[in-house]
Structure 1
Amino acid sequence: MTVTEGGTANLTCRVEYNDNTSLQWSNPAQQTLFFGDKKALRDNRIELVHASWSELTISISDVTLSDEGMYTCSLFTMPVRTAKAYLTVLGVPEKPEIDGLMKPAMEGDHITLTCITQGSKPAADLRWFRNEKEIKGAKEVNASGKTFTVRSSLQLHVDRNDDGVAYTCKVDHVALTQTPQQATEVLEVHYAPRVEIIHSLAVPQEGQYLKLECMSKGNPPPDPVMWTKDGGELPDLDRMIVEGRELTFTSLNKTDNGTYRCEASNHLGTSSAEYVLYVYDVPTTLPPSTTPPLHPIPPDPTALLGTHASDPTVTGNRDPNAVGQHGTDHALIGGVVAVVVFVTLCLIIVLGRYLARHKVWQTYIHYDLPNVNKSTLRKWGSNCSLQCNALNP
């Protein structure tokens, strides 16, 4: 039978035919535990459960690894009859411990986490988890008497994505019938900040409200942030309000045009991002046009304005002036297209009339001057109408 360390083992011996001879239990060291209902070994953990001529049952509580082995039940007849039972004791692994964690770790560090558990029999299995996802470690098993010490190592190249991640080492073993033993460590990673500017308007116009938010991520948190315009201080603090990470313009005007810079830093470094602001005129309503309606391609608002960061990882820079100039030239482009269409129509009408007249002239020659030589007509050229009138009044 198999018993977990610390549990209770019940040993039962039965005989079908007995001539009133007592049964006896002895341990692996051949020490008599009970002879009939008489206790032979002074061990408070061993107790009599049931004794009769046909059965002898004893119990061993708080089983230890030293209790493992072959137990013998004997009936002292001639010859002596015996039956044997092997008791297997499972060693319960201790709660694991994680070593090698640096608090805090720095981005770019190489660290080794080691999970250790002792006292398992047979050898336990160790499993690593990054949050809820299982990852593989390097396992090592060493025997220590009847039990085993198991180690598992995990190699990490630390980056900012490891900040706040829980690394868990779980012990799987046959003696752990309920929840497995486990240990968890949360990794703290310090890294330099990265900055990005978020703006509330795609196409800022005069008189509008605009909010710029400086999104900075770093550990330790880079707080506060610093706003500048064109390399200097903000010029108009009455309309430009700085609250924490936000820069707010209550009413935009042309004097606000420029490059706004947000800068954040901690003890590991400094990062910044820039936003180029171009304030557009408020659009006016144009009078109805008599020309056919045109459908120019509308400008992409996301291309009008953008931010760019000094950090090489921040992308998406855009020139705010490029599309804005096209937007202001739409009326001029429409007028040019209308003129081109009108000139084209005039040319088509003139060409049509020319072709029609040419056809009539050919018919006139065919019916009214049948006797004129064709080579003579070709010599007349453009004066054909005059010559024809002279020959055939």
Structure 2
Amino acid sequence: MSGMRARQSMTFPALQRAALRALAALTMLLATSVRSNFVFDDDPFQPVTQDETVAVGGVVTLTCNVKENDNSSLQWSNTAQQTLYFGEKRALRDNRIQLVKSTGTELIITISDVQLSDDGEYTCSIFTMPVRTARATVTVLGVPGKPVITGFEDAIQEGGKVTLTCTSSGSKPPAKLHWYRDQEEIQGRPDVVESNPDEPTYTVTSELTLTVTRNDNNALIACAVDHPSIANGDKRTERPISVLFSPSVSIQPESDLPREGEKFFLQCVGNGNPEPTAFVWRRKDGELPPMAKVDDAFLHFESLNKSDNGIYECQADNGIGMGDVTHTLLVQDPTVMSTPLGVDHAVIGGVVAVIVFIMLCLLIVLGRYLIRHKGTYLTHEAKGSDDAPDADTAIINAEGGHSGMDDKKEYFI
């Protein structure tokens, strides 16, 4: 009997332990289902929340709703499960957290000046039996800093290569970098992303290699940051690029019609970086005229002469390279009209031609009118000779036919 009692005493505790384990598992299962964000259509007491995304320094609004309430209070808790608000009562002394609305079915709070440490999961609870909860994930975006471009030299010689580096720190998630030449996007190397120590943010770096031409001189090379935390477009940094290149040269004459006996000059214009500072003038078919004087970029003629005709060359040097160009000088006779006067005569000639044409048209119209009326006159004149016995009578009838008619009237009377 004693042995049976011993076996029974050992069996009952084992059964109790198994029952307790099953009850604990069921409790955890129920708790997990109740604490999830899943909303039961047939449970009007289940809180409803939504996830939020906010940038550092911004304001986030947390809203919790239930369809019905049994006089239980709603409560918001932070990521550390510290109570923020229990109904209308503030539980945590943090002035950034403010109450917006508290009713039996709704609890709304705001968190201003959001920091990266505010990132995480917030809990809304209603203390019914059992307690029901819902979670809202707040994602805090780290705002990237303004990009910094390095690698620029004072100037790059035409045909050379330059490698530029763009860096932006503080983004979460990692930002994306874009390169631009003026307004045109150009491709750099893929971004390199590194996590920042002791912070949940990232530093992003991109490189761009350019082979420069003279067309790149003074172009704006820009690096722009693309990130969801930047509401008003991208952040960008622009730097002008300076390219050294040899000058391209042109000669500009004082006048297009240089006339004999007048003062005249040729100007040598060089476009280069840097601007050319040394100029050399030559005459292709011999020495410069005795009356021609070189003044840096100018070649002055005190009094033009037909002997000054020829091909003149200017060579400009800016220390990077040289450029040259030629110009043919043809001295005109003083009696040759200038271009503006020629234009005036052409206009006058055109006006005279139009007037002559209009007069011819008027003469033609007037002539046709006179010819038509002359024929009518001759026809009336011929009517008087139809019944005349001789020429004298015909003339009298043509000139005064009415008198004949009067005579006939008197005769019949």
Q: TM-score normalized by structure 2?
A: 0.60
Match of 1:178 in 2: 232
Task: Give the match for residue 246 of structure 1.
Answer: 298
User: How far did 1:6 drift?
Assistant: 0.9
Judge conservation of contact 1:107–1:158 (CA < 8 Å) in 2.
yes
2:244 paired residue among 187, 190, 205? 190
Alignment size in residue pairs: 282
Matched residue SS, 2:215? helix
| Corresponding residue number in structure 1 for 2:280 | 226
1:52, distance to aligned residue in structure 2 (A): 3.4
Q: Is the 8 A contact 1:68 1:88 kept in 2?
A: yes
Q: Which of 40, 64, 72 is residue 21 of structure 1 equivalent to?
A: 72
| 1:244 Cα offset (Å) | 5.5
Q: Map 1:194-213 onto structure 2 (within 5 A).
A: 194-199=248-253, 211-213=265-267
| CA-CA distance at 1:80 after TM superposition | 0.7
Cα gap change, 1:231 to 1:193, in 2 (>3 Å): farther
Instruction: Specify which of 266, 289, 310 is matched with residue 318 of structure 2.
Output: 266
Cα separation, partners in 2 of 1:248 and 1:56, compared to 1, 3 Å = same
1:161 matched to 2:212? The reply is no
The question of 1:50 aligning with 2:104 is answered no
Residues 9, 236 of structure 1: CA spacing in aligned structure 2 closer, same or farther, 3 A cutoff? same
Are residues 80 and 211 of structure 1, via their aligned partners in 2, closer, same or farther at CA, if it must alter by over 3 Å? same
Structure 2, unpaired ranges of 5+: 1-51, 337-413
Contact 1:126 1:152 in 2 (8 A): yes
> What RMSD, in angstroms, separates the aligned Cα atoms of the two structures?
3.0
Q: What is the percentage of aligned positions where both structures have the same residue?
A: 49
| Residue correspondence of structure 1 range 272-283 to structure 2 within 5 A | 272-275=324-327, 277=329
| SS at structure 2 position matched to 1:138 | coil
Deviations 1:131-178 (A, max 9, x none): 122222223141425333222221111222211111111222222111
Alignment of 1:59 with 2:110, yes or no, is: yes
Alpha-carbon deviation of 1:70? 1.6
Alignment of 1:122 onto 2:176: no
What SS class does the counterpart of residue 62 from structure 1 fall into?
A: coil
Give me the whole-angstrom Cα distance separating, in 1, the residues matched to 2:232 and 2:256.
58
Shift of residue 187, structure 1, vs aligned partner: 0.7
Matching of residues 288-327 of structure 1 within 5 Å: none
- 1:311-367: CA deviations, max 9, x gaps? xxxxxxxxxxxxxxxxxxxxxxxxxxxxxxxxxxxxxxxxxxxxxxxxxxxxxxxxx
Q: Is the 8 A contact 2:166 2:205 kept in 1?
A: yes
Aligned counterpart, 1:39: 90
User: Are the equivalent residues in 2 in contact too, given 1:69–1:86 (CA < 8 A)?
Assistant: yes
Distance 1:242 1:75, change over 3 A: same
- Please list every run of 5 or more consecutive structure 1 residues that lacks an aligned counterpart in the other structure: 285-393
Alignment partner for residue 206 of structure 2, among 152, 166, 175? Answer: 152
Call closer, same or farther: CA 1:203–1:59 in 2, change over 3 Å: closer
Higher-Rg structure is 2
Cα deviation 1:251-299 (Å, max 9, x = unaligned) = 5434324553322222323333344556688999xxxxxxxxxxxxxxx
* Counterpart contact for 1:123–1:141, Cα < 8 Å: no
For the Cα contact (< 8 Å) 1:91–1:119, is it kept in 2?
yes
Q: Give the aligned residue type for 1:170.
A: A
